[in-house]
Chains A and B, each alone.
Chain A
Amino acid sequence: MDSNQTPESASNESAEHRQPGERAHEGSTSRGEGINRRSMLRGGLLVGAGAVGGGLIGGFTGHAIGASSDTSGAVEPFRGTHQAGIVTDSQQHTVLAAFDLTSNNRNDLTALLKAWTQLGTELVTGKSVTVPIYTSQDSSNAYADATAASTTDDSLEAYGLGPARLTLTVGFGRSLFVDKGGKDRFGISNRLPDALVELPHFSGDEIDDTDSNGDLFLQACADNPQVAFHAVRSVARIAPDIATLRWTQLGFSPGNEAGTPRNLMGFKDGTVNSNVHPPTDLDATLWAGSEGPVWMRGGSYLVYRRIRITLEHWDRLAPSLQEQVIGRRKVDGAPLGGSEEFSTMDFEARDAQGNPVIPDTAHVRLAAAESNNGAVIVRRAFSYNNGTTPFVERWPPWRQALEYDAGLLFLAYQKDPRQAFVPIFSKLAETDALNQFTTHTASAVFAVPPGHTGPGDWIGKPLFS
């Protein structure tokens, strides 16, 4: 951008002198003008907020939106029957975030979801926008009284980067409906979907609870890592004393442009039942329907698993043996015995010695719908790399070493986890040849409600109707 130009959303007020729920004053500074220093210092004026679509919602402070100087990258629509970011072509980066709510006030929750929806609608355009700061007197955050509310200014790290196909996908955790004691939190416990299950313990699970679950979930995907992070950061700023971050996780993917992307094991990942190659009947496999609560129709259920892959161990295995573990060829992704990536997997085929061409414990055999009574999930996989941490391998020789904390962010969307992920993974956890290289270290299930359809609607509205 022009060094003399100031983004509209940077010309905004500090919220520190405002009382909760107080409406901010609207100012009238023209676009492109510098910040009025005196106004900033006084802190009582909202400068420029109303100039370009800035409005107020509920107990929120000012809000402005302005054109970006760079609109590179397509805009993924935020509105729709279904939320974006589920079957949307994979972007190259993701930031996942889960939040816990410190308030049990239903009005806080609905106000938050309205704000998430509104800000999400604007963020995906790639334009610079202000953040609607929400405050509540019900917050139990210990720091709430000692820390000023945030400025509404755009943090600007994504300014000029364009939309980058940003999608934001919102989910509700089971703990949003009932607390650990089974107590209703927001008057919605009777709307808890049966499909929003607590996952059982699977063999080999090493789940870190601090990186798992959460009341609210936000999946930001974009072709630019800074755009994805900016989105989560901005949403998190709305009410940091009410919706506190529980965990975040960054991921990356080559994207789908060059075909099915490869994961860190070097194999194509998502040839079947991924957002790259989805099943034909999404209503039968992906979208919640009349079998569950009305408010979830058109939504989906997300099972998130962070799967640490012991790359050091994997790299000791010859590619031909890796192919036996996966059940596909490494270079072209063809199933063993097949001619190309999309060849039908022939689970009956035997070699000259009578052995199955696709081994009995090969990952693709055990994960296939044919092996699971037709159960299907729609995957949206990213790799992750959290650096290195001390690790003790879960198999002989029980190596203790500093190893990559890297692997796969398994994001599996489905109509009902009880009919899909749970039975599929129950089998995989026991006998998948891949288990010797993988350890599940984080886990969550979220109800991902349907999309919002336009003005007046917001994500999750049917839940509270």
Chain B
Amino acid sequence: MLIRLLRREWVRVAVVGVVLTAGAAACGSGVQAPAGLSGQQAGAYVNSQYSVEDRAASSLLKPVPGSFLAGKTTVTLLNSTTPANGDVNPYAIWPVTETIGSVTEGDILVDNFNNKSNNQGTGTTIVDVHPNGQVGVFASLPSTVSGCPGGVGLTTAMVQLQTGWVIVGSLPSTDGKIGTAGAGCLLVLSPTGQMAGTISGPYLDGPWDATVKDDGGTATLFVTNTLVGVNPAGTATTNQGTVVRLLLSVSKTDPPKVTAETEVANGFPERADAAAFVKGPTGLALDPAGTLYVADNLGNQIAAIPQALTRTDPAGTGTTLTHGGQLANPLGLVLAPNGDLLAANATNGKIVEITPSGKQVGEYYAIQDVGQDPPGNGDLFDLAIDQDGTGVLFVKDDTNTLALVH
């Protein structure tokens, strides 16, 4: 089912601190408005939990001509990402480019972080959204897997190798709270979605996002760890988030194996969060020159890690590509065909375009759902460029759907 939506979705008024008079609610009806409708809605950005930067990011940045986002005005809702078992909260997006195993070129794999209990860190399914809009289940995993500490709760760390193997992160909990979170692992699935192994060790603690450079017989996988040293009982920030590089040996017949692991970045801020489960370094994107970009959620910046493919020591948090501006706690990160980065804002549902020189050149307000406060808050996560290279795929966690802006 393909449903075309207009640029502005069901809420066409992103209200912030607007006085909503009774007359507005009963306009034109000739009906006397109840006195109780003379209320005022709480405005998110005046609330103390929103930072100065959050407020700044609520301003409008129209895409400059020639930017990737310029001219993209249409959102196509591809389908629900909720399979029959009731899993919700879609995270990772992987556009399939080759037909192999049980996936077909043009499919889009999406995993779920929650099971039907709605508790975060409990989702076990990867759905397959076909080009005709039909949705199947690529993988349905058990809630506990030997070799995956804490169980299964699928994160936005998901890649598929050319050989068809799928590697997906798990940051599990039993009750949706960080207090029961386990270190998790990377789950290795066969090209038909069957469990084929796990990758875990001291270098993985809350694998949250991933990106890969796939060379066929070997692959270089980067993973953000967002649980390192996080105090489950507290709200204090700790600067221990890391990015690890895993060198994989790959064949068509045997599951990929880690042959080397290197911490390439560390010191990113992290903390437990009741709403977001955990916050820390998230999205990763690797440019052709080997610079790895990291969406530093709590730092509200995009960090650049130089020589990420070859370095032998951590770069700390690297250098800052861009900070603040339209960014509002970035999560998903993807490299656009024009070489710009696209970052998904956690706090306000915007996608922000950034040039390799660090200039913010446009935004698309992808999710303006006022069911969250401020509108779109918490609704975006992973981003991906579609197979045509012209649109941006994004998950809508507010409605558990996959959408494309083009």
Contact = CB atoms under 8 A, between A and B. Distances in A.
Contacts of B276: 397
Contact of B88 (A394, A433, A437): A394
A359 interface: yes
Interface of A is mostly: loop
Contact of B119 (A334, A356, A361, A392): A392
Interface stretch (A40-48, A313-321, A410-418): A313-321
A392 B42 contact: no
Contact of B12 (A319, A332, A359, A436): A359
A430 B402 CA distance: 11
B10 A360 contact: yes
A424 B9 CA distance: 21
Interface residues of A, number: 46
Given A359-B12, A429-B80, 10 more contacts: A205-B86, A316-B373, A324-B12, A330-B25, A340-B30, A355-B12, A400-B177, A400-B274, A430-B3, A437-B371
A332 B5 contact: no
A359 B397 contact: no
B56 interface: no
A250 interface: no
B127 to A, nearest CB: 11
A437 B371 CA distance: 8
Nearest to B371: A436
Interface in B1-40: 1, 3, 5-6, 8-13, 15, 18, 20, 22, 24-31, 33-34, 37, 39
A143 interface: no
A438 to B, nearest CB: 11
Given A319-B20, A324-B11, A355-B6, A398 B118 contact: yes
10 contacts: A201-B84, A317-B371, A331-B25, A331-B37, A360-B5, A361-B5, A392-B176, A394-B400, A430-B401, A435-B399
B377 interface: yes
Given A334-B29, A393-B118, A356 B400 contact: no
A339 interface: yes
Interface string A109-148: 0000000000000000000000000000000000000000
A351 B6 CA distance: 13
A204 B399 CA distance: 9
A334 to B, nearest CB: 6
A397 B10 contact: no
Contact of B9 (A317, A318, A321, A361): A361
B77 A397 contact: no
A115 B25 CA distance: 52
Interface in B294-313: none
A320 to B, nearest CB: 5
B369 interface: yes
Nearest to B346: A396
Nearest to A339: B28
B386 interface: no
B190 interface: no
A430 B79 contact: yes
Contact of A394 (B30, B33, B118): B118
Interface in A181-232: 201, 203-206
A203 B25 contact: no
B289 interface: no
Given A398-B89, A399-B275, A431-B399, A316 B379 contact: no
**Residue of A334, A356, A393, A394 with highest tally of chain B CB at under 10 A:** A394
Contact of B377 (A204, A359, A396, A436): A396
Contacts of A321: 11, 13, 15, 41, 370
B372 interface: yes
A325 B86 contact: no
Contacts of A168: none
Contacts of A313: 371
A436 B398 contact: yes
B82 interface: yes
Contacts of B400: 203-204, 394
Nearest to A398: B120
Given A203-B82, A395-B398, A435-B399, A320 B25 contact: yes
